[in-house]
């Protein structure tokens, strides 16, 4: 695994158990997960170590898929999974953009509760990536911060709406 790493933190005015549950429920994920510029939907969710979250993203006349392969789940404080672009059968495929992007990224999400709020810390690093793929991963760090920021803003809105926070 590469040493190249992505790091970000987000804070939610919600209990850690509620934030964690938003990752473990297909109906919840349909409300908030995925790029904001696409319409996202859950194809399937098998929320357990070794299970897969398969999702569809539609936008600008195109359809693409993604998947998480869960490695470690420790409610309500840890999620670890590889994320990849996928086909309609949840098989890993190359990224749908013109750069030598890693096939899989290992993400680790840690949730810490502080005074009724939850701090979400996320790290990501390429899996089995060569130098070119690692460089491509590092080159989009700013875009990844924007993308995760927008996605987790949707999570924040979902938490407010469903829990009257």
User: Can you give the pLDDT at residue 163?
Assistant: 78
H helix count then E strand count, the chain: 4, 7
CATH code of the region 6-163: 3.30.530.20
User: Can you give the pLDDT at residue 3?
Assistant: 63
Provide the sign of the torsion angle of the four alpha carbons 35, 81, 7, 11, taken in this order.
positive
Is 47 exposed, middle or buried, given 0-12, 13-18 or 19+ CB atoms closer than 10 A?
A: middle
| Mean pLDDT across 36-64 | 96
Residue 150: is its pLDDT beyond 60? Answer: yes
Residue 24: is its pLDDT beyond 60? Answer: yes
User: Can you give the pLDDT at residue 89?
Assistant: 98
| Mean pLDDT across 74-83 | 98
25 conformational bin, left if phi > 0, alpha if psi -120 to 50, beta if neither: beta
pTM for this entry:
0.94
| Mean pLDDT across 145-155 | 97
Percent of the chain past pLDDT 90, that is, above it, reads: 93
User: Can you give the pLDDT at residue 79?
Assistant: 98
Pull the structure tokens for residue 1: 């695994």
1: pLDDT confidence band, cut at 50, 70 and 90?
A: very low
pLDDT tens for each residue of 104-128: 999 999 999 999 899 999 999 999 9
Cβ atoms of residues 66 and 38 within 8 Å: no
User: Can you give the pLDDT at residue 123?
Assistant: 97
């Amino acid at each position: 695994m590469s040493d190249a790493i992505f790091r970000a933190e987000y804070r939610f005015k919600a209990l850690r158990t509620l934030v964690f549950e938003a990752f473990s429920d297909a109906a919840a994920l349909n409300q908030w997960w995925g790029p904001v510029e696409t319409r996202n939907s859950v194809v399937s969710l098998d929320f357990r170590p070794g299970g897969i979250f398969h999702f569809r993203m539609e936008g600008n006349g195109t359809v693409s898929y993604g998947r998480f392969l869960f490695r470690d789940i420790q409610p309500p404080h840890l999620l670890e999974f590889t994320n990849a672009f996928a086909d309609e059968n949840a098989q890993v495929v190359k990224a749908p953009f013109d750069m030598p992007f890693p096939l899989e990224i290992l993400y680790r999400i840690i949730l810490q509760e502080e005074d009724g709020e939850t701090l979400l810390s996320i790290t990501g690093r390429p899996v089995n990536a060569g130098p070119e793929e690692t460089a491509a991963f590092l080159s989009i760090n700013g875009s990844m911060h924007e993308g995760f920021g927008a996605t987790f803003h949707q999570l924040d809105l979902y938490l407010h709406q469903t829990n009257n926070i």
